[in-house]
């Protein structure tokens, strides 16, 4: 009997351990996008296939709630919650092109047009054109003046879309089509089941890309409330540390109140005072609801983007915050005031903000990413009352990249991994001189060179393309407007050859001479030929760029410039070590 009880206890313990293990496994899961190439043909049930693959990878740990979404319209794939180990296993399965973490990115963005040099005085015949811009986002607010269709005729004849008309939404000659999608089928309490925007982000981005020029205001000056257009009128107020004012009756301790969470502060201790907070994770609502008159935030995170707070707020670094805390602790009558902010120029601008995506390219190291950088922080735009590869595309990308303005590596520690070819210069884009063109066959050869099997290649192309010895090309042969080379710490005296072809789109009869700017310590760069002479527009000429030697720093960079006296066609060269 005793042995049976022991066995039962052991089984219960084992079951409980498995249960705990499964909970821990679920906690370690994050959303991944599994990309399987082009849209499948025939009657195959993609949902059934995806479920089968997940069971093979996750086994008994897989629950239907882990599968978040199926892609069926334009390509084959799905979104699923996996552990890191399961994601690696999924990436090795037949039919899977790539697996990468799913991320939600919010665009923040006022003076982009002025900053980039766009003219506001260009005479245009009409307010419309036949350009159609598609935006996948949170919807749109049609009543915004940014989308007023006054002066617009009917949609272009090439338009084949539809407008999902509902009780609260109609299109016009500016917003020519709209459709509502909900990928997971779960409608939130604030969701509007129509193309109308309930978030604001879609309206914001749509008006940035294609909105009308809207006259703001009536020349009457109003002072807004932000950090900080108002001050505390030079009045000194008691100063208290949030960690010394926990709302004990509400069940909060100083571990919460020091961050000034909503409801974590004792109103009797905070009301009428300025509160020092260790970071602010509730947008300032905690001190506001507790009756504070101002907030001082100490944080180690560099804030290179604007934030709004409901109270007069001062943002200080951790060292200054520590001094303020020492002052509070050593003085029973500690007091402070907050003055109105002073506007000044950022001497580091332009630079790439901390939250921007950075390189190197995680999928193909020797393709430099990002391509370029452009202004995009705190954009002034509309808001709601509620809160395929082609040669033309490659040529446009080339023109944008090779005419970009160089940026400073001293202001951007990640250098080209932060800004790519540089800052977009729209005035030069229209006259690049030379372009690095590429078509579908170039990318097919590139994928074959990346060891794609014919099966995997067809998943991407959706046609009968094949990979063999004649179609394979090195990553360094893709006709890309930049040059990237990764090496290992042990690799010495290496040689890499980049093959490129440029097309003359500048002056018919022209001669371009190559130069390399910058220093690649320990490396040598050779161009062959170093002079390109064109006799007509559209003419193509090829050249090779050879990098050889031993890299002595983790990352070095330079630029190749083709110059005909009028055009300077610049491409970054980046060599870096991968551990």
- Residue 15 is given by DSSP the state H
Give the three-state DSSP class for 308: coil
**Alpha-carbon separation of residue 517 from 421, 568, 570 (angstroms):** 14, 12, 10
Asked if residue 205 lies in contact with residue 107, where contact means CB atoms within 8 angstroms, the answer is yes
Q: 320 is written with which tokens? A: 């200054």
170 vs 160: CA distance, rounded Å: 17
Give the sheet arrangement for strand 335-336, strand by strand.
313-317, 294-299, 274-278, 237-241, 335-336
Q: What's the count of helices (H) and strands (E) in the chain, helices before strands? A: 14, 18
Q: What is the pLDDT along the chain (579 residues), one digit of tens a residue?
A: 444 444 333 333 333 433 334 434 445 788 899 988 876 665 556 777 788 888 888 776 666 677 888 887 778 888 888 888 888 888 888 888 888 887 765 544 445 555 556 555 555 545 557 788 898 888 898 888 889 988 888 998 888 888 988 767 889 999 999 988 776 666 666 666 788 887 788 888 888 888 887 776 665 554 444 444 555 777 899 999 999 999 999 999 998 899 999 899 999 999 999 999 997 666 678 899 999 999 999 887 666 666 777 888 888 888 899 999 999 999 989 999 998 877 777 777 777 777 777 778 877 888 888 888 777 665 555 555 544 444 557 888 899 999 998 888 778 778 888 888 888 888 888 899 999 998 888 888 888 888 888 888 888 777 888 887 666 678 888 999 999 999 888 887 889 999 999 999 999 999 999 999 887 788 899 999 999 999 999 999 999 999 998 888 888 899 999 999 999 999 999 999 887
Tokens 């540089």 belong to 422
Q: Can you read off the two tokens belonging to residue 118?
A: 């766009």
User: Kind and range of the H or E element at 532?
Assistant: strand 531-534
Strand partners, 33: 79, 100
CA 444 from chain centre, in angstroms, equals: 26
Q: Supply the DSSP symbol for 14.
A: H
**Closest C-alpha to 25, from 56, 55, 66:** 66
- Name which of 524, 516, 517, 530 is nearest 552 in CA terms: 524
User: What is 257-301 written as a DSSP string?
Assistant: HTTT-TT-B-HHHHTTSEEEEES-SSTTHHHHHTT-SEEEEEESS
| CATH of span 392-577 | 2.60.40.2310
Q: Where along the chain do its domains lie?
A: 2-101, 124-217, 237-336, 392-577
Cβ burial of 157 (10 Å; 0-12, 13-18, 19+) is: exposed
Task: Return the closest-CA partner of residue 572 out of 420, 364, 397.
Answer: 420
Q: From the centroid of its chain, how far is CA 116?
A: 20
Residue whose tokens read 């950090």: 227
Enter the tokens of residue 480: 């890309």
The DSSP H or E segment spanning 256 is: helix 254-257
CB 545 within 8 A of CB 495: no
- If you write DSSP's letter for every residue of 443-476 in order, what string do you get? HHHHHHHTT--HHHHHHHHSS-----TTT---GG
DSSP 168: T
Express each pLDDT in 347-397 by its tens digit: 777 777 777 777 788 778 888 888 887 776 655 555 555 444 445 578 888
User: Which CATH code for domain 237-336?
Assistant: 3.50.30.30
Q: Are 477 and 543 in contact (CB under 8 A)?
A: no
What would be the CATH architecture of the domain defined by 2-101?
2-Layer Sandwich (3.30)
Question: Per residue, what are the HEC states of 174-233?
Answer: CCCCECCCCCCCCCCCCCCCCCECCCCHHHHHHHHHHCCCCCCCCCCCCCCCCCCCCCCC
Of residues 190, 142, 222, the one with CA closest to residue 382: 142
């Amino acid at each position: 009997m005793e042995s049976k009880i022991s066995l039962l206890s052991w089984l219960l313990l084992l079951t409980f351990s498995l249960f705990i293990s499964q909970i821990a496994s679920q906690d370690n899961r994050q959303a991944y996008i599994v990309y399987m190439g082009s849209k499948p043909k025939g009657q195959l049930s993609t949902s059934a296939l995806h479920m089968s693959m997940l069971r093979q990878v996750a086994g008994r740990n897989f629950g239907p709630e882990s599968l978040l979404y199926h892609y069926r319209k334009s390509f084959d794939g799905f979104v699923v919650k996996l552990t890191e180990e399961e994601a690696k296993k999924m990436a090795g399965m037949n039919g899977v092109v790539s697996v990468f973490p799913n991320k939600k990115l919010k665009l923040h963005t006022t003076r982009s047009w002025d900053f980039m040099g766009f003219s506001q005085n260009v005479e245009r015949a009409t307010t419309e054109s036949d350009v159609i811009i598609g935006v996948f986002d949170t919807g749109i607010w049609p009543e915004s003046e940014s989308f007023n269709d006054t002066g617009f005729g009917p949609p272009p004849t090439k338009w084949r879309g539809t407008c999902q008309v509902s009780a609260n939404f109609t299109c016009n000659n500016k917003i020519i089509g709209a459709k509502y999608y909900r990928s997971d089928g779960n409608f939130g309490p604030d969701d509007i089941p129509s193309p109308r925007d309930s978030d604001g982000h879609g309206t914001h981005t749509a008006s940035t890309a294609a909105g009308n020029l809207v006259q703001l205001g009536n020349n009457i000056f109003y002072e807004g409330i932000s950090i900080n257009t108002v001050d505390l009128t030079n009045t000194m107020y008691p100063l208290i540390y949030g960690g010394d004012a926990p709302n004990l009756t509400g069940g909060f301790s100083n571990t919460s109140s020091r961050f000034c969470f909503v409801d974590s502060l004792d109103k009797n201790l905070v009301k009428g005072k300025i509160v020092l907070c260790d970071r602010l994770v509730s947008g300032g609502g905690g001190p506001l609801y507790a009756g504070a008159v101002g907030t001082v935030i100490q944080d180690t995170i560099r804030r290179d983007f604007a934030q709004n707070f409901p109270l007069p707020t001062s943002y200080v670094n951790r060292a200054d915050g520590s001094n303020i805390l020492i002052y509070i602790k050593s003085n029973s009558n500690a007091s402070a005031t907050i003055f109105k902010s002073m506007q000044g120029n950022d001497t580091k601008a332009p630079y790439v903000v901390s939250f921007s995506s950075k390189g190197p390219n995680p999928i193909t190291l020797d393709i430099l990413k990002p391509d370029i950088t452009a202004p995009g922080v705190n954009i002034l735009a509309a808001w709601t009352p509620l809160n395929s590869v082609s040669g033309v595309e490659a040529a446009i990308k080339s023109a944008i990249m090779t005419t970009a303005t160089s940026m400073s590596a001293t202001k951007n520690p990640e250098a080209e991994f932060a800004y790519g070819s540089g800052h977009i210069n729209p005035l030069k884009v229209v006259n690049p001189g030379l372009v690095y063109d590429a078509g579908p066959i170039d990318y097919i050869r590139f994928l074959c060179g990346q060891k794609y099997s014919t099966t995997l290649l067809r998943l991407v192309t959706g046609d009968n393309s094949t990979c063999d010895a004649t179609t394979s090309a090195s990553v360094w042969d893709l006709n890309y407007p930049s040059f990237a080379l990764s090496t290992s710490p042990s690799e010495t005296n290496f040689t890499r050859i980049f093959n490129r072809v440029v097309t003359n789109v500048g002056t018919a009869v022209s001669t371009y001479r190559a130069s390399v700017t910058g220093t690649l310590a320990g490396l040598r760069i050779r161009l062959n030929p170093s002079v390109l002479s064109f006799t007509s527009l559209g003419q193509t000429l090829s050249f090779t760029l050879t990098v050889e030697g031993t890299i002595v720093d983790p990352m070095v960079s330079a630029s190749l410039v083709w110059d005909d006296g009028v055009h300077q066609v610049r491409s970054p060269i980046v060599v870096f070590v991968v551990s």
